[in-house]
């Protein structure tokens, strides 16, 4: 895992992005934000489990379905199973040590 700082690679309204094996943050100070980095590490694990490319296909498809359901992009994003798992566990810095394989499915 590599943490990169670049405000130009992050979509507007977001502070971080994970593209295995990189975590990209919008500001230098975020590199030390343990909760945010843990959130992004959860995405790294999800991407590894789904062999990276299928993760992004699933993520995009789920976003589109949820956008049609909620008719709100932010609500759709927050309800993607991968994001629900990451937000629910980002403050638990030991979560990845106990996390079961494919656990994001619990959040579907």
Q: List pLDDT tens digits, range 17-59.
A: 999 999 999 999 999 999 999 999 999 999 999 999 999 999 9
Q: What is the pLDDT of residue 18?
A: 98
Give the distance from CA 92 to its chain's centroid. Answer: 15
Q: What is the pLDDT of residue 37?
A: 98
pLDDT band per the 50, 70, 90 thresholds, residue 105: very high
Give the distance from CA 23 to its chain's centroid. Answer: 10
Q: Which DSSP state fits 2?
A: E
What 3-state class would DSSP assign to 9? coil
Q: What is the mean pLDDT of residues 4-12?
A: 93
Q: Return all residues near 105 (Cβ < 8 A) that are at least 6 apart.
A: 81
Number of H helices, E strands in the chain: 5, 3
Beta strands in 1-108 (DSSP E): 2-5, 16-19, 22-25
Percent of the chain with pLDDT over 90: 96
What 3-state class would DSSP assign to 24? strand
């Amino acid at each position: 895992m590599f943490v990169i700082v670049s405000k130009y690679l992050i979509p507007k309204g977001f502070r971080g992005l994970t593209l295995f094996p990189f975590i990209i943050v919008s500001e230098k100070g975020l590199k030390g934000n343990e909760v945010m980095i843990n959130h992004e590490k959860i995405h790294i694990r999800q991407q590894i489990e789904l062999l990276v490319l299928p993760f992004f296909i699933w993520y995009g498809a789920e976003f589109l379905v949820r956008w049609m359901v909620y008719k709100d992009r932010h609500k759709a994003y927050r309800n993607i199973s991968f994001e629900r798992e990451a937000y629910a566990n980002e403050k638990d810095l030991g979560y990845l040590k106990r996390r079961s394989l494919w656990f994001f499915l619990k959040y579907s």
